[in-house]
Amino acid sequence: MKDIIEMIKTRRCVREYKDDEVSDEDIKLLIDCARYAPSGFNMQPWSFLVVKNKDVMRRLSESGKKSMIPLLEPIKDSSKTASNFLVFLKTRGTDMFYNAPVLVIILGNKNAPTVDVDCAMAAQNMMLAAHSKGIGSCWIGGVLPALMDESILKELGAPPGYKAVAPLIFGYPKGKIPVPQKIEPEVKWLR
């Protein structure tokens, strides 16, 4: 067991993966860690879709690109990151899931008042647990606009009344990942 502080500080969003698959046992362990996250009223409003099917992931990535491109066009001149992401999405053959071997979509029960925060907590548990096992991860928010389409969610097998909150990819990292800039936040102490 590695030190939790070290895990928090060394976890990175991974965008390049080896072909090696993540075992079902490891995915089950990550989901088990997710369910220990705190949740408003302890409602535990999450459900999980595990996608290992390459064809399903490819089609989802294509739908994700189609939905995301029109959202980025109007802001491309005001954000360098948005404009770079737009170029990536428009490049033929790029995969929103960076060829990761598995996608886990955390779904949230729409009736839970704190569903988004709860599922984000569960997501962080999964990403940290993955990191402690040498498995890389990345939250792929870019695919969420496509997942707002009820028919896509239904096709994926989401239970009725649930929405997609956290699409997470997992896999074994290829190469070293640079640490992105981490800004010192403003902190006010009242004593």
Ligand X SMILES: Cc1cc2nc3c(=O)[nH]c(=O)nc-3n(C[C@H](O)[C@H](O)[C@H](O)COP(=O)(O)O)c2cc1C
> Least distance in Å: CB of 60 to ligand X?
12
15 binds ligand X (CB under 6 A): yes
Instruction: Scan residues 40-69 and list those touching ligand X (CB under 6 A).
Output: none
| Residue among 40 and 173 whose Cβ is closer to ligand X | 173
180 binds ligand X (CB under 6 A): yes
123-157 core/surface letters (b: 16 or more CB in 10 A; e: else): bbbbbbbbbbeebbbbbbebbbbbbeeeebbeebe
122 binds ligand X (CB under 6 A): no
| Cα distance between residue 33 and residue 146, in whole Å | 27
| Cα distance between residue 128 and residue 31, in whole Å | 12
CA 168 centroid distance within chain: 3
> Least distance in Å: CB of 142 to ligand X?
3
89 binds ligand X (CB under 6 A): no
Residue 82 CB neighbours (<10 A): 15
12 binds ligand X (CB under 6 A): yes
Q: How many residues bind ligand X (CB under 6 A)?
A: 9
The 136-155 site mask, x for binding ligand X (CB under 6 A), equals: --xxxxx-------------
User: In the structure encoding, which two tokens stand for residue 162, read together?
Assistant: 């649930």
**Span of 72-80, 135-143, 146-154, 183-191 interacting with ligand X by CB under 6 A:** 135-143
Alpha-helical runs (H) found in the chain: 4-10, 24-34, 54-72, 80-90, 115-132, 144-147, 150-156
Interacting residue ranges for ligand X, rule: CB under 6 A: 12-13, 15, 138-142, 180
